[in-house]
Amino acid sequence: MTTPSQPKRLGFFTRLLDEGSAGERYRLAAEQIIHAERQGFDTAWVAQHHFHEAEGGLPSPFVFLAHVAAQTSKIRLGTGVVTLPLENPIRAAEDAVVFDLLSDNRLEVGVGTGGTPSSFTAFGLDSANRSEIYERALALVRDAWNGKPLEGGDSLYPAAPYLNDRVWQATFSTWGGVRAGKAGDGLMLSRTQPRPKDSPNATLPEIQHPIIDAYLEALSPGKAPRIMASRSLFVADRREDALRLAETGLRRVAKDFAAKGHVIPGDTLADLITALDTHVGTPEDVIESLSKDTTLPRVTDIVFQVHSVDPPHDDILRSIELIASEVAPALGWQRPLAKTEKRVALVR
């Protein structure tokens, strides 16, 4: 099965991993999202991570996004994702409603089961129960938004049933695709994911096509699919600059993986790029590389992140520009017209 043909949305994603203090990370990430809006990006997404500086720098996504919303006006702002099992679902529902109202209804709500086992322990939970906790929490969030009476008789103020149409579920599995499809939610696909033990050399599209198939099969007839593919992408004006920065970042990640017992086959830069599902180079290089990703024609949203290259801030800003001007249009994205451009188009 394929998705209906429709214009793609372009997104920017960050885990807030720039070099510097936490405050500096927040400042730089905000600048990157503001820059993405200026370049015409449709969406921006931030990850939530508790405790682990090297994995992500943001435990409170709604607070950060409220700061960004005050400095932007059009770009839609999403959580990618809220680790729902580690949240009080009523408080998460309340924060989402307040943020959406203050941002002029620009919130996209990505949720997932994520989090490292030690994070669950810190919150007094068992990570082995994460799926059960997640499903219970998501059901409670939905009920709260719908204004249903909660335990004790109170109901959420203000209610926001429309937010149920903006939920995205992240998953690595076909079962997760079924769950998102049955709920009528969006499907969030990762930039990389573990390979099955029986298929260690499987490509990312080979792993993710069955998830898309399961999602579309479970989706109610007439319900428009929402499928997001996140991809690791770093673009530079010169190939040698892109590869130099990529080698620094990817070798750092490979070293961390090795320390945790993971094995990355091969040791050349090309091996690392392949193993970590990274697209890097000039616009021409990455257009060619991305054209081999057979997942992308099936998605409605393409979201790019610079992890795990993690180049300096100025290089990220330039990559954002090159994505908007050269790469994304080659993948089916159309830059939104400014109001003045729309008026001219109508006159013509």
Task: Measure Cα distances from 202 to 184, 199, 205, 307, 322 in Å.
Answer: 29, 5, 8, 21, 30
* Helix 89-102 and helix 130-145, axial crossing angle in degrees, nearest 10: 50
Q: What is the gyration radius of the CA atoms in the chain, in angstroms? A: 20
Contacts of 299 (CB under 8 A, 6+ apart): 3, 8, 189, 212, 227, 228, 229
pLDDT for 284-341, tens place per residue?
999 999 999 999 999 999 999 999 999 999 999 999 999 999 999 999 999 887 654 4
Which pLDDT belongs to residue 263? 72
Q: Is 125 exposed, middle or buried (0-12, 13-18, 19+ CB in 10 A)?
A: middle
Q: Which residues pair with 187 in a beta bridge?
A: 169, 227
State the average pLDDT over residues 65-84: 98
Tokens read off for 173: 């599995």
State the average pLDDT over residues 179-202: 93
Where do we find the tokens 């992240």?
170
State the average pLDDT over residues 40-64: 95
SS3 153: coil
Taking the C-alpha atoms of residue 164 and residue 109, their distance in angstroms, rounded to an integer, is: 9
Instruction: State pTM to two decimals.
Output: 0.94
Contacts of 245 (CB under 8 A, 6+ apart): 234, 236, 309, 311, 312, 315
State the average pLDDT over residues 121-136: 96
pLDDT for 199-252, tens place per residue?
888 999 999 999 999 999 999 999 999 999 999 999 999 999 999 999 999 999
Look at residue 20 and tell me whether its pLDDT is greater than 70. Answer: yes
Look at residue 347 and tell me whether its pLDDT is greater than 80. Answer: no
Contacts of 234 (CB under 8 A, 6+ apart): 242, 245, 246, 278, 279, 280, 306, 309, 311, 315, 319
Q: Which residues pair with 280 in a beta bridge?
A: 234
Which pLDDT belongs to residue 7? 81
Nearest C-alpha neighbor of 12 from the set 68, 54, 63: 68
Q: How far apart are the first and last CA of the chain?
A: 39
- What torsion, rounded to 10 degrees, do the Cα atoms 171, 172, 178, 181 define? 40
Q: Which residues pair with 305 in a beta bridge?
A: 232
